Structure formats: structure tokens, C-alpha cells
Amino acid sequence: MIKRFGKMSLVVLAGSLVLGGCATTGSVKRAQARADEAYGEAQAGHADARHAQEGADAAMGAAQHAQSSADAANTAAQGASSAAQAAATNAQSTGEQIAQIARANARLSARMHHLEAVVAHNRRHHTRHHHHGKTHHKAVPASETQPAQFRK
């Protein structure tokens, strides 16, 4: 299109000079040289524009790749955030379970100390009231300790 425009403008310029009657061979040659120079500059400008378009296309591709990478990173960050939240919830639940176990352990420990104290008290009480080595109870055969319905 630029070729056609350059040649067309040359024809129009040359035609107007010839029709105007003031065109000389030198002025036509100068006009042709200027037209050729303008055409060359237009081609160089077109090449520069094409090169700039290629650079812009490459930049657009890089920007799209960067956007894809950013989207992937955002998705990964959201997944990590969800995993961290689940881990925090799990840790809180585990902490509550540990606290419950600790409370139960404290209750059982207190109960065990109480029972140990009762056993120690009963031993002291039993030792004070009974003589060592003497049996106050008459030995009863096992067959007599069973209920009648289970005896042979």
C-alpha cells in the first residue's frame, strides 16, 4: 500500500508540474529523488513499525505467561492457606483433647491418692485391732461357702 501511495503521489506531483507548465527536467528529477527518498523512509518506517509490533507481541506473550504464573501462584497460596487453616483447627482440637486427658489424669491421680490413703488407714486400723499370727476365724471348707444350689 505504501508502494502504491508513493508512486501515486509521484505521478500526481509530476502530473501537476507538467500541467502547470513550470516543470523542467531538473525539477521532475528532483521531485523523483524526493519521492524515492520519501518512499525509502516510508519503507524504513514500515520495517521499524513491524519490528515494534513483533516486540509488542513478544511483550504481550510474556505478560500472558506472567499472568498465568501469577494465577498459579495465587491458587497455590490459597491451597496453602486452606491447609494451614485445617492444621490450625486440628492443632486446636488436639490441644483441647490433651487438656481433657490432663484433667482426667488429675482426677484419677487424686482418686488414686485418696484410695491409697484409705488402704493405708485400713492397714493401720486392722493391725491395731488384730494380733499377728493368731487366727480368729475358723477355716471353712470351700464347699460350704457355695450356695446350696451349686453344691454337688
The DSSP-derived string for 41-66 is HHHHHHHHHHHHHHHHHHHHHHHHHH
Res. 100: pLDDT tops 70:
yes
Which residues contact residue 130 at a Cβ distance below 8 angstroms, ignoring those fewer than 6 apart?
136
- Residue whose C-alpha is closest to residue 42's, from 16, 7, 17: 7
Q: 494465577: which residue's cell?
A: 71
Q: What are the sequence ranges of the domains in the chain?
A: 2-126
- Residue whose C-alpha is closest to residue 10's, from 33, 40, 41, 26: 33
Query: pLDDT tens digits, residue range 2-39?
Result: 455 555 565 555 555 555 556 688 888 899 999 999 99
Provide the grid cell at 34.
524526493
Angle at 53 between CA 50 and CA 57, to 5 degrees: 140
Task: Provide, rounded to the nearest whole percent, the portion of the chain with pLDDT above 90.
Answer: 57
